[in-house]
Structure 1
């Protein structure tokens, strides 16, 4: 076990942060820095059983997705090149894509390696079981509709997580002991009406400006906890922010297109339900009034099936409704990514 001192930071890292560290090769340097800070006793993990169990349930999926998501994207790119590519360059492009395809299994191996490193950190940490008192306080949050139950969803695991953290902060400890909570789940843990770097007001009593800190990225947490050591470790790891790969851009465009289309579909659905738009067996042309244009029934039935697929793929929690700011961000991201790949600005067709 690493040697601890009153200056040791006790850090609870949410499961989503561990999973993202495992699947994103760009976070390998951050993971290495965390390992070093733990080894030197600068950081001690607060490790709830619920985090370990959730990580174990999802690690196989992370390994599979690390190569599968890129493989499916690469296949789509190859199909496009095959159909529409410049005949003079097509062979060379396809050869390079095939070389990338051949190397894809190494991405899965990288995820396996990261998962092994995380499990080693878990093995060296005492696991905190969920007490009855924690369960009761988490249940009371649900009754009171306090975060993380403020979004009409089952947030019992998140509630247990924050209550275990609260126990740690409240426990008797040497003077100067400090704590930190790290999560990527800003919708459930962050302030809904201010910066998402602030905790939700329902959890505010568990945090302070000095003794108990809230972070939404692991890198930011490590930088705040041990600035000099973290900077040195990053230099040692030669960590740089690499440009996004084409596959990441294409995947992001696909997701944003799905979400924009789904929002428009829901608007059209409301118009049908309240009678502003009619369903007809067969649409007639030319259309005289586009504002009152009906929808052909079989086309609408196909749209409903497509919407169900989108809901299954992303989950209803990730499909809105969004406020004006969030909706603007989604459309802005889609426009920017399409511009990078050659479209004109404000190209939002779905």
Structure 2
């Protein structure tokens, strides 16, 4: 079994990045199968708890402000021929922002469930003393003239784990390359001040969770990623509005045919004032028939109910009340 310590910054980045869902899915499954066990220090739990609300808010807010500024620039300086297409794309993204925020909330909950099923390791006085000594000696993560006490506690607790636990392999994963990585081009090697804790077999160092899982269980990780990478993306705004337009046209066309039927059967009489309306309606109906094909118009009772239900649901998504079927 691999016992892995995941830095708080990795957990927070998982929560804020919608595209990391497949990685989290793979981690959950490997933990469930017993192939991986988490090393969970109290400091990680507390730091995650302090920052989770900020991450949820920023996951959509930062994009929203960026989109707003981008749309303003496109409106003012965009190519007139391309402007509307660009704005449509930006509106599609803007429409999805609440979904991204909700995804962050869901990811935070999933991470907290992992925490709940993992024993939390309290920080011993010995670990605190060794972390303080690192500060005195100005060894990583104190080599950058900053307060790195939480990071020092993390690495010292990891040192305790690999020295006291037998018959296990270990991995340390952090995105904090400035404090933990060798100042090289790739940052994939541990800093010289902590390099003695790592080896090619027993204790591994990683700067991404995906790379760690791939190295730890390559075959299982590949299979899990194939299963998990497909994510059902929400519909774009333009897709929704185009569908509403099509459904509205078809519902109107069917109502128009019913009106013609009532006129033909004498159930309803055409007034003088309605004659111009009827002529325009016939022209509009012909345009719809050319657009969708006459063979694709006309429905039985079940299909008619589905048509209206779809229109009602899509309009509700964009803010209308239920059963808004005006055409």
For the criterion TM > 0.5, the same-fold answer is yes
Structure 1 segments, 4+ long, off by >6 Å, are none
**Map 1:91-130 → 2, pairs under 5 A:** 91-130=84-123
Structure 1 residues 229 and 81: alpha-carbon distance in aligned structure 2, compared to 1, 3 A threshold: same
Q: Aligned pair 1:186/2:177, yes or no?
A: yes
CA-CA distance at 1:25 after TM superposition: 1.2
Q: Residue 127 of structure 2 corresponds to which residue in structure 1?
A: 134
Q: Residue 221 of structure 2 corresponds to which residue in structure 1?
A: 230
1:194 and 1:75 map into 2 onto residues whose CA distance is 36
Partner-residue secondary structure (3-state), 1:192: coil
Unaligned runs of 5+ residues in structure 2 are: 232-327
Query: Deviations for 1:191-213, whole angstroms, at most 9, x for unmatched residues?
Result: 12475111111112211110011
Task: Calculate the TM-score normalised by the size of structure 2.
Answer: 0.68
Q: Aligned pair 1:73/2:60, yes or no?
A: no
Q: Residue 62 of structure 1 corresponds to which residue in structure 2?
A: 55
Q: Residue 41 of structure 1 corresponds to which residue in structure 2?
A: 34
CA-CA distance at 1:183 after TM superposition: 0.4
**RMSD value over aligned CA atoms?**
1.8
**Map 1:136-285 → 2, pairs under 5 A:** 136-173=129-166, 175=167, 177-193=168-184, 195-238=186-229
Partner-residue secondary structure (3-state), 1:137: helix
1:98 and 1:78 map into 2 onto residues whose CA distance is 9
2:131 and 2:78 map into 1 onto residues whose CA distance is 56
Query: Deviations for 1:70-112, whole angstroms, at most 9, x for unmatched residues?
Result: 1111111110111112334434543443343232111100101
Structure 1 residues 196 and 97: alpha-carbon distance in aligned structure 2, compared to 1, 3 A threshold: closer
Structure 1 residues 88 and 172: alpha-carbon distance in aligned structure 2, compared to 1, 3 A threshold: closer
Partner-residue secondary structure (3-state), 1:87: coil
Q: Aligned pair 1:17/2:10, yes or no?
A: yes
The structure with the larger Rg is 2
Structure 1 residues 79 and 171: alpha-carbon distance in aligned structure 2, compared to 1, 3 A threshold: same
Q: Residue 28 of structure 1 corresponds to which residue in structure 2?
A: 21
Query: Deviations for 1:210-244, whole angstroms, at most 9, x for unmatched residues?
Result: 0011011101100111011001001111369xxxx
Task: Calculate the TM-score normalised by the size of structure 1.
Answer: 0.64
Partner-residue secondary structure (3-state), 1:104: helix
2:196 and 2:85 map into 1 onto residues whose CA distance is 60
1:102 and 1:148 map into 2 onto residues whose CA distance is 42
Unaligned runs of 5+ residues in structure 1 are: 1-7, 241-350
